[in-house]
């Protein structure tokens, strides 16, 4: 895990003072760390009956696509509102100041599909919770949610566990 933790750059005071931004783009550019990350995200699910991996825009696309490839399953993108060209299902959620929405194509998953949700970072869990609810509304069973980074002080993992979704995080960082 040190390989992964050490490959993540911390940018102080971004996007605002007091925030320690955990930048996984440096991990993605490090072939060894990227491979180790994908392998660790895949490992608990190897041999499991999974139909799709869903990845949350944008870094979740990179990680989720790699995980889907390793598991030999399809990929379902979870995007910000207005980015998908076909008919969509939309889930709105609350942010610290206001609200936002994510969406999937109506045919991204089928009723009964067993789905693994992937993203780079888990903070408060609001976006991931919305993605889980969206996938469930589409008829999917969300088997788990996996992240590279957890910020446990913000409570996202506990929030997702209240939905009955197991959470896997590879590394955690104290503070925001």
Give the number of other Cβ atoms within 10 Å of residue 25's Cβ: 13
Per DSSP, 15 falls in state S
Question: Is 110 in the active site?
Answer: no
> Quick check: 20 and 176 in contact, CB under 8 A?
yes
Active-site annotation holder among 32, 57, 79, 96: 96
* DSSP string computed for 61-118: HHHHHHHHHHHT-EEEEEEETT--SS-EEEEEEEETTEEEEEEEETTSS-TT-EEEEE
Strand 167-172 relative to strand 9-12: parallel, antiparallel, unpaired?
Answer: unpaired
Any idea how long the chain is?
Answer: 176
Active-site annotation holder among 22, 59, 103, 129: 59
Question: Is 9 in the active site?
Answer: no
Within 13 Å and on the Cβ side, how many CA atoms surround 31?
A: 0
Residues acting as catalytic residues: 59, 96
């Amino acid at each position: 895990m040190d390989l992964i933790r050490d490959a993540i750059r911390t940018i102080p005071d971004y996007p605002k003072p007091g925030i320690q931004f955990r930048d996984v783009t440096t991990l993605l550019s490090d072939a060894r760390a990227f491979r180790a990350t994908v392998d660790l995200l895949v490992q608990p699910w190897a041999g499991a009956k999974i139909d799709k991996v869903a990845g949350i825009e944008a870094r979740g696309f990179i990680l989720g696509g790699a995980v889907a490839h390793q598991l030999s399953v399809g990929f379902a993108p979870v995007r910000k509102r207005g980015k998908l060209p076909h008919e969509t299902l939309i889930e709105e959620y609350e942010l610290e100041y206001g609200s936002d929405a994510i969406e999937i194509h109506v045919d991204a998953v089928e009723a009964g599909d067993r789905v693994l949700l992937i993203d780079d970072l888990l903070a408060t869990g609001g976006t991931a919770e919305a993605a889980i609810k969206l996938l469930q509304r589409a008829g999917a069973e969300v088997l788990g949610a996996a992240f590279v980074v957890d910020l446990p002080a913000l409570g996202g993992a506990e929030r997702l566990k209240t939905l009955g979704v197991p959470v896997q995080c590879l590394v955690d960082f104290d503070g925001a």
